[in-house]
Amino acid sequence: MEGAVAREVEVLSTKLVASIEKQATLEDEKHWREAALDRARVRIGELEAAQRDCVERMAQVLEEKRGAEEETQALMGRLVEETQQRAAAETEKQAMERELEELTRTLFEEANEMVAAAEDARGRAERRSTQLAAQLEEAVRLQRSQQAQLEELKGLLAAGERARARAGGKLEKGRAGVWVGEGVGGVGGRVRGEGGEDRVGVRDEGGGERVLRMDTAAFEELQEFVRAAGERGRGGTFFGLGSGGWMRESKFVKRCIYEDIEPTLRLDSAPGLSWLARRGMFSAVLEGQLVIEPGKVGRGGIECSLCGKSCTEKGNRRVHRFRTSEAQQGMKFYYLCGYCLGRVRSVCDFAGFLRQLRDGVWRGGGDGGRRVWEETVRLREAMFWARMGVVEGGEGHKGVPHSAGLVEDSAGAEDAVAGVQRAQSL
């Protein structure tokens, strides 16, 4: 009996809970309905206000339409008046055109007469100018001849005084020349050969004597390059990255690229560089953007990008690598062996010297380009020794290694050995 009562009480409790939950749900739904009704009332009010606003704007539009129609009628009246005025203006224009044609014909007749007179005067002036130019050219030629004779006499006088003052000075055997100045890295000067050609003498620290010719096409092209750079600098042209094209198009730079830079770099046979990488490296060298920095190689070693040989020499794991731009830190690195590092550095030194000449930083002074020519020959000679695989011993003339050793594992040494073997086989 008690169990039945308990079950009934439990059933009634469950129903009570269900009824309470249902009542709560109905109350929530009631609140939602009331909120929706309030929102609907607000929306109805907004729509009614919008309707009233639309009606008012329609009334304004109709009023504006009536005003536009009245304005259109007024414009039509003005159009009729303007049409009449245009017809009158066309008649006046035709009269003015006839008058202008008459004036033009008269003007052309007078202009033809003036042109004929001017051509006559111009012919007389050109003949006179030609005569004066011929006289001026003759005077300049005479002046240059006298100046050359004067310079030669001054040189001979200075040479005689120096020869008397320096008893230990010796002339180069087989050449009729004298020392008249000092060169870079030793004693040097301008000498005149047996045939009358102009040369530069350079005496290095080891006592050897060399004479640099100054009557070659390369020297004249260098002088032209220096003059052009000076004129561009005086003309207000600022040099920068955009000026590399002008420098590369000069005759002297083209000669150096063909005779020295390309044979030294040998980019056409570089196994580790693609076609685009070769062009990028060449441009970076000329424009001063090539970055060379030391790096390390793992146990496996790495090959040189220019010659394909191993970059590790005698177990040394520290090598050098380069990239074609300093701004782009994420660019690919290309490794260099010791032999190729010397080649690239010699070319970069020469390219830097050319840029200094272009920008006016390196000036030769008033010596007729002697110092510039000596420095150019020294740097070009350094490129020659670099591609031959010769390293300086530290005691010779700068750029001319007296105490030098051959890099045995360089590509230049291998080419030289192969050439000797071919000659012996013949």
Look at residues 167, 214, 210, 169 and name the one whose alpha carbon lies nearest to residue 195: 214
Distances (CA, A) of 414 to 112, 156, 323, 382, 385: 80, 49, 27, 19, 15
Q: Strand, coil or helix: what is 334?
A: strand
**Please, what sign has the CA dihedral across residues 17, 22, 23, 27?**
positive
Q: Strand, coil or helix: what is 326?
A: coil
| pLDDT category of residue 164 using cuts at 50, 70 and 90 | confident
Tell me: the pLDDT tens digits for 20-77? 999 989 988 999 999 999 999 999 999 999 999 999 999 999 999 988 999 999 999 9
Residue type, 210: R
Rounded to 5°, the CA angle 412-413-416 comes to 90
**Please, what sign has the CA dihedral across residues 417, 419, 424, 425?**
positive
Residue type, 364: G
- By the 8 A CB rule, do 320 and 292 touch? yes
Predicted local confidence at residue 319, as pLDDT: 82
Predicted local confidence at residue 234, as pLDDT: 64
Highest mean pLDDT among 1-15, 110-124, 209-223 belongs to 110-124
- Residue matched to tokens 């000329």: 286
Name 262's Cβ contacts closer than 8 Å, sequence gap at least 6. Answer: 268
> End-to-end alpha-carbon separation of the chain, Å?
134
Tell me: the pLDDT tens digits for 66-116? 889 999 999 999 999 999 999 999 999 999 999 999 999 999 999 999 999
**How many angstroms separate the CA atoms of 235 and 223, rounded?**
18
Predicted local confidence at residue 201, as pLDDT: 53
- Average pLDDT in the 196-205 region? 50
**How many angstroms separate the CA atoms of 19 and 407, rounded?**
104
Look at residues 331, 256, 265 and name the one whose alpha carbon lies nearest to residue 293: 331
Between residues 60 and 187, the one the model is more confident about: 60
| pLDDT category of residue 263 using cuts at 50, 70 and 90 | very high
Pair type for strands 209-213 and 291-296: unpaired
Look at residues 336, 80, 356, 359 and name the one whose alpha carbon lies nearest to residue 233: 359
| pLDDT category of residue 366 using cuts at 50, 70 and 90 | low
**How many angstroms separate the CA atoms of 358 and 363, rounded?**
10
Predicted local confidence at residue 414, as pLDDT: 53
Name 318's Cβ contacts closer than 8 Å, sequence gap at least 6. Answer: 294, 295, 296, 297
- By the 8 A CB rule, do 185 and 204 touch? yes
**How many angstroms separate the CA atoms of 346 and 386, rounded?**
7
| pLDDT category of residue 163 using cuts at 50, 70 and 90 | confident
Tokens of 218: 């390369």
- By the 8 A CB rule, do 175 and 159 touch? no
Distances (CA, A) of 330 to 57, 117, 227, 289, 320: 65, 72, 40, 15, 17
- Average pLDDT in the 353-369 region? 78
Dihedral-angle region of residue 298 (phi above 0 means left; psi in -120 to 50 means alpha; beta otherwise): beta
Domain spans of the chain, in order of start: 90-164, 247-425
| pLDDT category of residue 175 using cuts at 50, 70 and 90 | very low
**Please, what sign has the CA dihedral across residues 118, 124, 125, 127?**
positive
- Average pLDDT in the 223-252 region? 71
- Average pLDDT in the 319-345 region? 84
**How many angstroms separate the CA atoms of 217 and 238, rounded?**
28
Tally the residues of the chain. Answer: 426
- Average pLDDT of the chain is 78
CA 397 centroid distance within chain: 35
